[in-house]
Every structure is written in C-alpha cells, then in structure tokens.
Amino acid sequence: MAEQFDVVVIGAGPAGYHAAIRAAQLGMKTACVDAALGKDGKPALGGTCLRVGCIPSKALLDSSHQYHNLTHSFDQHGISFKDAKIDVAKMIGRKDAIVKQFTGGIAQLFKANKVAAYYGFGQLQPGNIVKVKQHDGSEVELKGTNVIIAAGSDSIELPFAKFDNENIVDNVGALDFTEVPNRLTVIGAGVIGLELGSVWKRLGAEVTILEALPDFLPAADAEVSKLAAREFKKQGLDIRLGAKVSKTELSGKGKKKEVVITYTDASGEQTLTVDKLLVAVGRRAATKGLLADGTGVKLDARGVIEVDAHCHTGVDGVWAIGDCVRGPMLAHKGFEEGIAVAELIAGLPGHVNFDTIPYVIYTSPEIAWVGKTEQQLKAEGVAYKTGTFPFAAVGRAVAMGEPVGFAKVIADAETDRVLGLHLIGPNVSELVHEGVLTMEFHGSADDLARICHAHPSLSEAIHDAAMAVDKRAIHKAN
Ligand code: FAD
Ligand code: NAD
C-alpha cells in the first residue's frame, strides 16, 4: 500500500529541494526522493549543484585564484614570498568539506521543514505513484496528489571519448584530480570548459580547449566575448575554434597513461597528446528509467520532459522542473521553477520570468549578463541605444588591481527601458543583479543613472554606463 502525500518530489537538486521545502512551508505533506551518493558512499542531497557542480567548482576557482594572485599579482602590492606551493590534496579536501557542509545542510532543512526524505531511485508509475528502489535493496511506494519531477541532468558522453574516470573525465573527475595535470585538453569552450580549464591552468597545467563552433561564447554579447577571448589568451588558455574531434586513444600504462586526441580544424587533421581529457560538451536530461510505461508524461527526442509554461506535463498532478525540462540549465532557474510549482499547487500565482534570468561565468575576469545582447536585438529588428563604461576608469577597480572589463547598458531607443546589462570584470557575478532588478521593475537607463551609487564601488561602472546611454557619463568622454 503506497503512503499518501500531497506532494512527492523526485530529485533533491536545486529545483527539487526548493519545490519540496516550499510545498512543506505551504502546509502540504511532502516527500522528496533522491538517488545520489556522496564521495563517502552515503546519501548526499543537493544534486549536481552541491555535489559536483556550482559549489565545488567555485571552491576550486577560489583556491586557484588565490594561488594565482600569490604567484602573479601580490608582488605589485609590495608583498613578497618564497616558494609558493599548491597542495592539491588539501585544496580538494577543503572543497569536499564545503560540499559536505552544504549537502548535510539540505538534510537538516528537510528535517526542519518536515519534508520526508527517501534515499533511492524513484520511478513514476501510472496514477501518480512513485516507486522507490532504496539503497538497501528494499522498495517503497509513495502516492502523490501531485508529483514534481526534478531529475536534473547528466554529462553528455561522446562516442569517441568515453569516460574512464581516470584519463577521460567529465566535471566529476575534473573536480577531483589528485595532482595538477601537466597537459589538460578540454572538449567544449562552454561554461564548464572555461571554469574548470581556468582552475587547472592557474595551478600550472598546460590547457588546450577544443571548440567545434567557429565563434567563441556566441551566447554572450559580442564585445564581451571578444574581450574575454583576448584575456583568456593572455592567461595562456589555448582555445582552438572550429576544432572537430574525431578520435581519442589511450596509450601508455598507469601514471604514464596519455590520451591521444585527433581533431580537424581549418588547417587540417591535428593530434594532441595529453595527460587528462575533460569532455564538457553540454548536459542532457536525466530521464533514463524515470518513467514506467503508461504514465502519459512525454519526452522529446533528446529525453527532455515536455511541459507547458507553468511546468505542467499535461498529466493530472504531474509537474517537471529544472534541468530535465526546457530552458537554461542553471541552478537558479531550477530554484525559481521549484518555488513557482509549489505555489501553483497551493493555488497561488507562481511564475518564472525567463527574461530576467542572470547568466554568469566565474572566470577571471568574470562574465555576467541579463537580458538581450546587441546581436539578438539586431536580429529581432528592435531599435536600441547603448552606454558602455570601462572598469579602467573606476577608482575601486583600479585600487583592487582589476581594471580589465566594462559594463554595457542596452536600452530601448524609444522608451529608454533597459533591455540588457552586459558585464565583464571584477565581481560582476554580484553586480549583474542591478540589471536584474531594473528589468524586473521595468526600469529605464535614466532610472539607473539617477540612482545614487556608493563611491568608490565597482557598481559605478554600471552607473556611468547608464549615463553614457544618453551621452552624459561623467568620468569619460561621450
Ligand atoms: P540536479 O542538480 O541534477 O539534481 C537532480 C537530482 O535528482 C540528483 O541528485 C539526482 O541524483 C536525482 N535524481 C535523478 N533522477 C532520479 C530518480 N529517478 N530518482 C531519484 N533521484 C533522482 N549552475 C548555476 O546556476 N551556476 C553555476 O555556477 C553552475 N556551475 C556548474 C558547474 C558544473 C561543473 C556543473 C556540472 C553544473 C553547474 N551548474 C551551475 C548547473 C547546475 O548544477 C544545474 O543547472 C542544477 O544542478 C540543476 O538542478 P536540478 O535540480 O534540475 O538537477
Ligand atoms: P555548454 O553548453 O556551456 O558548452 C558546451 C560547449 O561544447 C559549447 O560551446 C559547444 O559548442 C561545444 N561542443 C559541443 N559538442 C562539441 C564537440 N563534439 N566538440 C567540440 N565542442 C563541442 O555546456 P557545459 O560547459 O558542458 O555546461 C553544461 C551546463 O552546465 C550548461 O548548460 C551550463 O549552463 C551549466 N553550467 C553553468 C555554470 C554557470 O552558470 N557558471 C557553470 C558550469 C555549468
């Protein structure tokens, strides 16, 4: 006999745990099922994001950034040192402790909110029943008046570069190297390739990134991508565009094992021999084995769960959110969908505004944006104006020794409404929210320009960029 719940959530990643906690807050009897185990073999809630994604990657980005500053920029502050060394085991241990703190934190939040946690693989059966195969081999059935599927995503594997978790790895392996590889190749110059490529480059690896497309970071504003490409090149990241990998082979034995990569670019066929290969060519919805026959939930050709604008699958009481449905694969997009669906189930007006989702790449300089790029607006035939301001003219950025980058405000040519904010530079992962807020409140470039910004602060780049939209920036010639 299945235990009855108001809401059963499959998956305790960012989307699922938000949905479960919000549903419980709203007074619904809620269960959440998750299959994942941590590095210690014990159940670990929090999904890709907390275990092998957002948080561990940022921990390593921060460690490697500190090391890079110590070896490259402390000197200009008059700080000297001898024999800087990186203890990779200690750095990974710090990252693991952060992961444990946060995955354990979700378990505590579930307890505090009375969300019943079930540890095992859940499969949706017809009639809103979730059959859970628990880690001890036993099975339990949960019936939900509503079921929210938040199964997330897995790395895409290339048929000619199968993961062996030693020399050919995905994000999981690249977050756990036991030493700095001498030579690392990444397939895919996307977000993971750039972030994890930066980590190991800063620690001393020779890093080559092979990207199939002819353009670099096409989703970002073209001026941002151009500056980013220049900065990454200066840092020694060897990014090769239009590079199509056709074959990988392992050679050698044990610690001497190498990966021989064959790819073709504009100059013809090339080979590269490296110690480690990270494949970061995107992720796919984790829907394998998730649905029993007859549930009525539809998958598209790529295994993505089909939903409407409110994350409803079309089957009575069955919803799907996060990476396993359409839209950007971002933790905060999943957060918002989780909350929105819990609120919709409770009869409240939940919604997610896809137009104001911020995008961040945590490289150095950081890249962040919200809204439309110039290339998108041109393609849509929207008349717009822009204002740009460089961090090199922002006192705080120069005092920090981080003058590279700029802020660009894009506003509607007629109404002045902000259509986009594009940033590359120091701490722009935080600054981008100024654009998110302005756009959520339908603000104009003039609104941004008239808001008092603290001096000296990095946010002054946005203030002056907003003033530059009407050619009245104070700290540069217009
Ligand atoms: P997931 O986080 O994938 O969670 C799904 C959970 O469901 C997992 O625990 C899984 O084990 C479980 N599950 C799946 N199927 C079942 C089943 N049938 N039964 C039981 N349990 C199941 N995004 C950002 O916004 N910012 C970042 O900085 C960022 N950095 C990233 C870095 C890396 C290296 C990676 C790989 C991703 C990063 N992302 C980042 C993306 C982010 O991690 C995902 O968008 C986010 O985790 C998706 O949340 P989710 O809840 O939809 O799925
Ligand atoms: P991605 O989509 O960002 O980048 C994949 C890249 O690989 C693309 O540039 C693509 O053109 C290229 N590619 C695809 N097939 C290829 C091939 N055969 N050969 C060479 N290049 C190929 O995907 P990702 O970097 O794997 O990240 C996965 C997801 O995780 C993304 O959707 C991203 O949103 C999310 N993520 C977000 C953050 C963040 O928000 N800071 C960080 C990491 C990951």
- The pLDDT tens digits for 9-68 are 999 999 999 999 999 999 999 999 999 999 999 999 999 999 999 999 999 999 999 999
User: 347-368: buried (b, 16+ CB within 10 Å) or exposed (e) per residue?
Assistant: eeebebeeebbbbbbbbbbbbb
Cα separation of 229 and 224, whole Å? 9
Report domain extents, the chain.
Answer: 3-155+284-352, 168-281, 356-468
Could you give the 3-state DSSP secondary structure of residue 161?
strand
**What's at 435, amino acid-wise?**
G
Place of tokens 């977000």: 191
pTM for this model (two decimals): 0.98
Q: Which atom of ligand 1 is nearest to the CA of 152?
A: 53
Q: Does domain 168-281 have CATH number 3.50.50.60?
A: yes
| Of 433, 455, 463, 475, catalytic | 455
Q: Which atom of ligand 2 is nearest to the CA of 156?
A: 26
188 belongs to an annotated ligand binding site? yes
**Euclidean distance between the first and the last CA atom of the chain, given in angstroms as a whole number:** 73
Residue 329 CA to ligand 1 centre (angstroms): 8
Strand order in the sheet with 366-371: 359-361, 366-371, 418-425, 406-412, 384-390
Cα separation of 245 and 271, whole Å? 9
Residue 109 CA to ligand 2 centre (angstroms): 31
- 455 catalytic residue (yes or no): yes
Domain spanning 3-155+284-352, CATH architecture = 3-Layer(bba) Sandwich (3.50)
Judge whether 220 and 371 are in contact, CB under 8 Å: no
**Residue bearing the CA closest to ligand 1, atom 28:** 54
Question: Domain 356-468 sits in which CATH superfamily?
Answer: FAD/NAD-linked reductase, C-terminal dimerisation domain (3.30.390.30)
**CA distances to 153, 161, 288, 322, 325 from 304, in Å:** 10, 23, 10, 11, 5
Whether 3-155+284-352 shares its CATH topology with 356-468 is answered: no
Cα separation of 410 and 419, whole Å? 6
Instruction: Identify the nearest ligand to the CA of 208 by its number.
Output: 2
Other beta carbons within 10 angstroms of residue 156's beta carbon come to: 14
Mean pLDDT of the chain: 97
Judge whether 113 and 19 are in contact, CB under 8 Å: no
Nearest residue to 54 via CA among 21, 90, 10, 95: 95
Instruction: Identify the nearest ligand to the CA of 277 by its number.
Output: 2
Q: Which atom of ligand 2 is nearest to the CA of 158?
A: 18
Tokens of 118: 């079930």
Q: pLDDT truncated to tens, each residue of the chain (478 aa)?
A: 899 999 999 999 999 999 999 999 999 999 999 999 999 999 999 999 999 999 999 999 999 999 999 999 999 999 998 889 999 999 999 999 999 999 999 999 999 999 999 999 999 999 999 999 999 999 999 999 999 999 999 999 999 999 999 999 999 999 999 999 999 999 999 999 999 999 999 999 999 999 999 999 999 999 999 999 999 999 999 999 999 999 999 999 877 899 999 999 999 999 999 999 999 999 999 999 999 999 999 999 999 999 999 999 999 999 999 999 999 999 999 999 999 999 999 999 999 999 999 999 999 999 999 999 999 999 999 999 999 999 999 999 999 999 999 999 999 999 999 999 999 999 999 999 999 999 999 999 999 999 999 999 999 999 999 999 999 999 999 8
